[in-house]
Chains A and B, each alone.
Chain A
Amino acid sequence: GESVGLHLPTLSVQEGDNSIINCAYSNSASDYFIWYKQESGKGPQFIIDIRSNMDKRQGQRVTVLLNKTVKHLSLQIAATQPGDSAVYFCAENINRGFKTIFGAGTRLFVKA
């Protein structure tokens, strides 16, 4: 399939290590945040979300941290696996709106 994110920032990690992907957002009115994973040739896949009244949320092997003071969002992946290799997008909704705005994306490469 076609490649996604040919010129994106890249994070390379060893299999089994933890990964941290960072994202800065600019709109202080953003109140809902989502991380998506996109593999080549596929649409984005929902990973985890967090609302602005929280600063941390955990899922299976993933944790999202939200720092509203500095408008920063991060995704932590524990025990990274080769199947985690993909492009990761942070996304935000503003003022309880339905429109999701995507960031530029980060490519995660997992070395076996």
Chain B
Amino acid sequence: GAGVSQSPRYKVAKRGQDVALRCDPISGHVSLFWYQQALGQGPEFLTYFQNEAQLDKSGLPSDRFFAERPEGSVSTLKIQRTQQEDSAVYLCASSPGTGNYGYTFGSGTRLTVV
């Protein structure tokens, strides 16, 4: 597609519920990133994929967070047993190569845990 597409746009989850957030990167982009953005803050790195390989997951806050990109295109970020502190905007970004480039971000999924 023309840009990075994320769904759903908004998600309200009850505490303890599992959620899955989807990212469709720009076609052919090798690198895919997930970031978490709390209100009033800059995005914080969660994880990085190069094709289907998850090369860095050092930013995932806990073992409740899991990301995958099984075929090297679409990616899913899953959060198990959601907590109120998980409420944030989850941003996906992609870039064409593996070097230093500016990313193309999606519009994000706003997750609210009640």
Q: Do A and B bind each other?
A: yes
State the A residues within 8 Å of B (CB).
2-8, 31-32, 34, 36, 41-46, 49, 51, 89, 91, 93, 96, 98-105
Within 8 Å CB of A3, what residues of B?
A: 39
B42 near A43 with CB under 8 A, answer no
User: B100, A46: Cβ atoms under 8 Å?
Assistant: no
Q: Given the complex, which residues of B lie within 8 Å of A100, measured CB to CB?
A: 33, 45, 103
Which of A6, A49, A51, A102 contacts B42, CB < 8 Å?
Answer: A102
CB-contact partner of A99 in B45, B91, B110, under 8 A: B45
Residue of B nearest to A48 (CB): B102
A98 contact set on B, CB distance < 8 A: 31, 48, 50, 55-56, 98-100
- B41 on the interface (CB 8 Å rule)? yes
A43 lies within 8 A of B56 (CB): no
Asked whether, in the complex, the Cβ of A43 is within 8 Å of the Cβ of B41, the reply is: no
Give the bracket for the number of chain B residues in contact with chain A: 20 to 34
CA distance A4 to B108 in the complex (A): 12
Q: Which residues, 28 to 56 on B, are CB-close (under 8 Å) to A?
A: 31, 33, 35, 39-45, 48, 50, 55-56
B105 touches A45 (CB 8 A): yes
Q: Which residue of A lies closest to B39 (CB)?
A: A6
Known: A43-B105, A96-B99, A98-B55. 10 other contacts (CB 8 A): A2-B89, A4-B40, A6-B40, A43-B91, A49-B101, A51-B100, A98-B56, A98-B100, A99-B45, A99-B56
